[in-house]
A and B are shown apart, each in its own frame.
Chain A
Amino acid sequence: MRNLRLFALTIAVLAGLFGVQFVISGYPVLALTRILILAVFAMGYNVLMGYTGLVSLGHALFFAAGLYGAGLAAYYGGVALPIAFAAGIAAAAVLSLVVGLLALRTQTVSFMIVTLMFAQAGYLATLHFSAITGGDQGLSLPAHARSFSLLGQEIALTSATARYNIALAVFAVVLLALYALTQGPRGRLFAAVRENPERTRMLGYDVGRIRLLAFTVSGTISGVAGALYGLMFGFIGSSFAEFRSSVEVLLFTLVGGPGTLFGPLVGTTVMTLLIDRLSGLTSAYLIAVGVLLIVLTLWFPKGILGTIRDRWAPWLR
């Protein structure tokens, strides 16, 4: 049977996240909204890096695919936000399938470099086609793209409550879907490929297809985050396709614990709040972040939740 304790924790976390909006207000709600969106990005990355053992340096490409797919559909197509959101997810899904087919022909360091190159090509494409994308200066979404109708209700993305609950809803769907995926047979196959691809192949499984599935799921979820971010903040720009975005999501996952369901949420929360708090105190906050990463590497080499899982709670995977 699946991991019931983790399922109970999943429900508890979602209930807690829903309830917390009645306790806190103002900036913490806005900050938590951003954290949830970025945590979805990290959860997508975690499917590939944490569960399947493939380190990509190019996931900014898929985040940007979602961002541009949704943003351009809303900006030029004038479509309703839910359709724009779906367009962003579809763009990321197709792109991750195509890139996966090519990049998965390589492994380890070569794979990292190839994914990085694809992402750089995507970034430069957003600059090159600036007549459409707005390039580095980006595009601000028009007023009609700041609200949508749902079951007869007009929902404005300018409302902090609406923003939080939309982010939470998307986060919850992705979290539950990933619970089902990673704690079931597919998840065990991902782990098998990560731990010993040769043995997995000997057992009759097609390692290439498993990796491609993980890559596509990972890229698509990253695109979900990108689409949500672009629509939520009403701005799309090439800086989201930069290498920095790929590194950020790698750090979020590493800090929280690769290969754990909640690691990305923990990592994103810690890193986001740390930067947010320290940057108000000193311009050298990145040094403090660097020190934290060194400390984590020394004492929590598998990230915060990864360490807790290994030592005390093996079900926390």
Chain B
Amino acid sequence: MDLNTPATRAALLPRRSLLQGIAAGGALLTAPGLIGRAQAQAGDAIRLGAPFHRTGIGASYGRWYERTANAALKIVNEQGGINGLPVQMIVEDDGTDPKRGVEVIEKFATEHKVDAVFGHLFSHVVAACAPRAGELKMPYFLCSEGHALAAGQFNRYVFQPSITDVKSQISSMGPWIADNLGKKVALIYPDYAFGYDHRDNMTAAIQAQGGTITASIAIPPTETSFTRYLPRIPFDTEVIYHVMVGPAVLTFVKELGEHLGSRRPEIFGFIDSLEAVPLNQPQLAFLENTYFWEAQPRYAQPDQTEFDKFYRAAVGVDDSGATIGNPQDVATFSHMFSVWETLFAIKRAMEMADYRGPAQKIAMLEAMESIPGFDASNEFPQGDKIFNGKTHQSFGHQHISKFEGGRLNVVHSTTIEDTFYPDETDYTKMSF
């Protein structure tokens, strides 16, 4: 068929149809009201923007963050909302992508006109969004673990009121590792910023205990097999510290087991490696009798609090940290509590400032800075916390769990004071 004859062209795609199609498509794309949400009037509700990682590398976290946030939101509204106003949550997917993350922050500030944004986890997305949130004067509550906030790299609009940062987590682990597992530590970590945080903080923590780092093995993110890196673990290593993440982690554990065999050193890891991963699978058998950091124990412990029970029931998670009735659907339990608690922290600050809209925004931020901490409760089921208003960062208990019989049992919990380090910034001296 000759596609270039006028008759054929007309039959394939008449010009009028083309123009109509383009016009309709353009209208659809450019008119938010057509397919976007209808905008409510200011003052009739508290609107919170939730930029969750629905897609991209953070999707397994994002799914649980959204589920946890919805459960917390339901309770907040059942309790009468905030200052008598119902609370609405508007979710946008940031694709775990810094560029899209910034776009979403702009959208929350200028299209949805939310009162605050909360729920960002991955630190590279946070790093891109925090400056823009400050410029748009948008209160921005992190549920991440990055140290950049407490290091003074952001601005006065950014807070992390629930989960501790990586510096706290690691520095509080160091003494226990050195005292109980060994002082000659080999580090295995991904060759990018997340891994460097662990490398730098764990090196400092072990050296502070008089220990030494026997090897520091960075593995590029593109690797799918690890056998050529493992011979770099020296024979005199007493502890292997690993923080590999991503889909290759099962291969990593399997190859580590094949390399070390039964005469292995002690092994300590961060649960970040195995969040949302069922532990009772053959590929992870080698991790039996090894140790993990947890922020909130995935498995209900003998001394489980009523708050932990309440929280699990509200989110729909059983005592093994999986969806009730579906043991393979494992939660990101050591991170997602931060969404729950952050929502209640926002509620606390808004109530202190009698927040009803943007007119009380500064008062709400100052109220947040004045909060000394949070008691363990249904609102803060991970445990009590000390909040540092100067650095905008929370400090809380950490747990070390042993992998035994396919589950994690807590063997040590830190005090909050164990997680302290000297202030590195004072946001209260910064203007709004």
Contact = CB atoms under 8 A, between A and B. Distances in A.
A139 B130 CA distance: 11
B103 A34 contact: yes
B259 interface: no
Nearest to B28: A277
Interface string B90-102: 0011010111101
Contact of B29 (A244, A270, A285): A270
Nearest to A160: B110
Given A140-B127, A299-B13, A277 B35 contact: yes
B127 A26 contact: no
Interface stretch (B187-195, B294-302, B325-333, B380-388): B187-195
Interface in B8-42: 9, 12-13, 15, 18, 22, 25, 28-30, 32, 35-37
B22 to A, nearest CB: 7
B131 interface: yes
A130 B107 contact: no
B128 interface: yes
B148 A304 contact: no
Interface stretch (A98-106, A206-214, A232-240): A232-240
Given A127-B192, A137-B193, A286 B55 contact: yes
Contact of B128 (A158, A235, A281): A235
Interface in B120-174: 123-124, 127-128, 130-132, 135, 146, 148, 153-154
Contacts of B146: 137
A150 B148 CA distance: 32
B221 interface: yes
B131 A235 contact: yes
Given A27-B32, A127-B191, A235-B98, A140 B131 contact: yes
Contact of A279 (B93, B102, B196): B93
B106 interface: yes
A283 interface: yes
Nearest to A24: B30
B220 interface: yes
Contacts of A311: 9, 13, 15
A42 to B, nearest CB: 14
B375 interface: no
A127 to B, nearest CB: 5
Nearest to A26: B110
Contacts of A279: 92-93, 95, 100
A134 B193 contact: yes
Interface string A251-280: 000000000000000000110011111011
A128 B98 contact: no
Main secondary structure of the interface of B (DSSP, over half): helix
A201 B146 CA distance: 57
B137 to A, nearest CB: 9
Contacts of A308: 18
B111 interface: yes
Interface string A186-207: 0000000000000000000000
Contacts of A237: 98, 124, 127-128
A192 B249 CA distance: 51
A26 B109 CA distance: 9
B54 interface: yes
A137 B220 contact: no
Interface in A263-317: 269-270, 273-277, 279-281, 283, 285-286, 299, 304, 307-308, 311-312
Nearest to A292: B25
Contacts of A11: none
A78 interface: no
A130 B196 contact: yes
Nearest to B222: A124
Given A140-B131, A240-B99, A273 B55 contact: no
Contacts of B220: 124, 127
A27 B192 CA distance: 34
Interface residues of B, number: 49
Given A237-B128, A239-B97, A276-B103, A283 B193 contact: no
B194 A136 contact: yes
Interface in B259-288: none
Interface in B305-344: none
Interface string B70-106: 0000000000000000000000110101111011001
B110 A27 contact: yes
Nearest to A308: B18
A82 interface: no
A237 B92 CA distance: 22
Contact of A158 (B95, B98, B135): B135
Contacts of B148: 137, 140
A191 to B, nearest CB: 19
B196 A135 contact: yes
B36 A280 contact: yes
Given A279-B93, A283-B93, A312-B15, A239 B131 contact: no
A312 B340 CA distance: 57
Which of B35, B37, B92, B111 has the most C-beta atoms of chain A within 10 angstroms of its own C-beta? Answer: B111
Contacts of A299: 12-13
Contacts of B30: 28, 273
A304 to B, nearest CB: 7
B196 A239 contact: no
Interface in B184-205: 191-194, 196
B191 A280 contact: no
Contacts of B95: 279
Contacts of B29: 269-270, 273-274, 277
Contacts of A124: 220, 222
Nearest to B34: A277
Contacts of B25: 270
Nearest to A245: B99
Contacts of B221: 127
A68 B61 CA distance: 30
Given A140-B154, A276-B107, A299-B12, 5 more contacts: A27-B107, A137-B127, A141-B131, A277-B32, A280-B92
27 contacts: A26-B110, A26-B111, A31-B107, A124-B220, A127-B192, A127-B220, A127-B221, A130-B193, A136-B193, A136-B194, A138-B128, A158-B135, A233-B102, A233-B128, A234-B135, A235-B131, A237-B98, A237-B128, A240-B99, A276-B103, A276-B107, A279-B100, A280-B92, A280-B107, A285-B93, A299-B13, A311-B13
Which are the 8 A-B pairs with shortest beta-carbon distances?
A: A137-B193, A27-B111, A273-B29, A27-B110, A283-B54, A158-B135, A135-B193, A26-B110
Interface of B: 9, 12-13, 15, 18, 22, 25, 28-30, 32, 35-37, 54-55, 92-93, 95, 97-100, 102-103, 106-107, 110-111, 123-124, 127-128, 130-132, 135, 146, 148, 153-154, 191-194, 196, 220-222
